[in-house]
Amino acid sequence: MKHRCLFFLLFVEISGFGCRKTTPVPATCVVVAGSTDLHGVVDPQTLAVEGVTVRHGGLSTLSGYFGALRQRFGRKLLLVDGGDIYQGTLVAKVSKGAAIIAAYNLMGYRAAALGNHEFDYGGEDGDPDVNSVLKARIRQARFPFLAANVIDRESGRRPSWQNLEASEIIDVGGTPVGVIGVITPEAPQVTTPQLVAGLDFLDPVAVVTSEARRLRADGVMLVVLLAHLGGKCAKVDDPDDLSSCDPDSELHRLLTSLPKGTVDVAFGGHTHSKVAHWVNGAAAIQPLAQGRQLGYVEACLKPAGGIDRQASTLHAPVSLCLDEWEDGGCGPRPHAARVVPAKFLGTEIHPQAEVEAALAPYRAQVHDLAAKPIGVRLPRPLTREGDGPSLGDLVARAMAESAAVPLAVQNRGGVRDDLKAGELTFGDAFQVLPFENRLVVYDLTGEEVRELVELLVERRDGLPPFVAGLAVRGSPAEPQVTLADGAPLEDLRTYRLVTNDYLGMGGEGAGRIFNKADKDGRRLLDQSVLDAFIDYLTRHFPSPPEAAPRRRASH
């Protein structure tokens, strides 16, 4: 009789007849957790304070945190990634991304969004298919890559690439979860245009709405969106406070454009910023890039499906420490403290042994090249921001000196890391400029130079590109572009300028400028931006004689 009564109470609870306070039904919950924009960073970074170091970030550290999540949540855990998985490090470059996908397979990822930098390695040697490396990486993955808004221009349908899907239904501990993937419609502007020339990238609103409806009709209880388009929030301490978030970011605009309840969890990427907020009824989460953070949501379900906001927990992104200071965290501090192993969810963090074993041959393959000194000793760190000439401006100076031209423009997104003080290796320099872009010289009118800089300022939300021979002053809304000495650019006068072939071939939308430039003045140089930068560093910051002999890495 007691069991019969319990059955009845459960029935009326689910049917909506009341009894919630007297007979609570435990919610079904799943944990959506993951990373985004790893960019091939395998090893943890180190932070030194008074000679004491802690390690943080990278794929190795991430694997340890995922182990702790799996130990806590078991089969209820859904691991996902927001895209841009492998481009950016020597390990990734030499293996063309295979090392990172091999590790992801072992870490238990269940789905990933397709990122714009997944296209970067182009075609295999001798293969006319410019996407053959990407197709190989997607086939290698034991999880689907998702891109619902990518269309093959010739067929008008999604590309028929093995293991590339619009969405996937995944069993998460007995709960059917629908996962949809989208990529930023700006992919043609933020990817070398020739690598995506046969594809269209649709506005995701209609695509996500349609795909979510289909998944719910197929019986899924939760809809998760993996979006390689992101948000930007300065604060993540209160998930209900959106005041520090950019309402014009792609992730925010997408979620507020969808009918409420279309998606339950949205996992963002691409902007290298953080989000942990409720947006139009969806739990939106986005951790920082390069394995510095993970994001996770404990998503509890309503009886009929969909996320129960009150029962769910949207966690702030978790900073990933392999070691931490005794009083917590692994960030900068005025004075060193005792270092202890990091813990998460009560578990001491160690990289997963099987992941480390899989990465070992790839690490060995690049070890000598990465560790080779380049004959440079920096007296102080060089950073992309801060007082005086930035690291990016030095890259632009290196380009101008190498090409023997007065002006240079380098897009901000092409300079990916800062440089530490002390002796530098090839690996240090490669981390700054991992894209292997070549130098290209153009003859532009003063009007075209100004138009190029203004375009790049607009593309980077008011931040100017890195330049040499030029100055960018004024407000972000109305930048004033002059020569470095303040002299105005003359509209009809011709100026010789060097940039990288990513911009020269139309990246960031610059094709509309370079396509109308004087073709007789265009020269593609047989030198990479990285080569020019290393040459510049060896001239301006040479190692003293007592240091290791100056040697140039072959790459």
Read off the pLDDT of each residue in 332-350 and give the average, rounded to a whole number: 96
Sequence-distant (≥ 6) Cβ neighbours of residue 160 within 8 angstroms: 152
Q: What is the DSSP secondary-structure string of 349-413?
A: ----HHHHHHHHHHHHHHHHHHH-EEEEEESS-B-SSSSSS-HHHHHHHHHHHHHT-SEEEE-GG
pLDDT of residue 387: 66
Residue 22 has pLDDT above 70, yes or no: no
- The size of the chain, in residues, is 555
Domains observed in the chain: 29-359 (3.60.21.10), 373-540 (3.90.780.10)
Of the two residues 389 and 62, the one the predictor is more confident about is 62
For 160, list phi and psi in degrees, rounded to 5.
Answer: -90, 55
pLDDT of residue 520: 73
pLDDT of residue 63: 98
pLDDT band at 6 (very low <50, low <70, confident <90, very high): very low
pLDDT band at 26 (very low <50, low <70, confident <90, very high): low
pLDDT of residue 12: 34
Q: Are 409 and 497 in contact (CB under 8 A)?
A: yes
Amino acid at site 250:
E
Of the two residues 128 and 386, the one the predictor is more confident about is 128
Q: Mind listing the pLDDT tens digit for each residue in 106-161?
A: 999 999 999 999 999 999 988 999 999 999 999 999 999 999 999 999 999 999 99
pLDDT band at 20 (very low <50, low <70, confident <90, very high): very low
Q: Mind listing the pLDDT tens digit for each residue in 463-509?
A: 999 999 999 998 888 999 999 999 999 999 999 999 999 999 999 99
Alpha carbon distance 419, 427 (integer Å):
11
Percent of the chain with pLDDT over 70: 93
**Closest by alpha carbon to 410, among 422, 419, 420, 400?**
400
What does pTM read for this prediction? 0.90
Of the two residues 517 and 169, the one the predictor is more confident about is 169
Residue 426 has pLDDT above 80, yes or no: yes
pLDDT of residue 4: 33
Task: With both helix axes pointing from N to C terminus, report the angle between 529-540 and 391-403 in degrees, rounded to the nearest 10.
Answer: 100
Residue 29 has pLDDT above 90, yes or no: yes
pLDDT band at 8 (very low <50, low <70, confident <90, very high): very low
Alpha carbon distance 85, 91 (integer Å):
12
Query: Whole-number mean pLDDT of the chain?
Result: 92
Residue 546 has pLDDT above 90, yes or no: no
Q: Could you count the other beta carbons within 10 Å of the beta carbon of residue 469? A: 20
Q: Mind listing the pLDDT tens digit for each residue in 172-189?
A: 999 999 999 999 999 999
Alpha carbon distance 278, 282 (integer Å):
5
pLDDT band at 2 (very low <50, low <70, confident <90, very high): very low
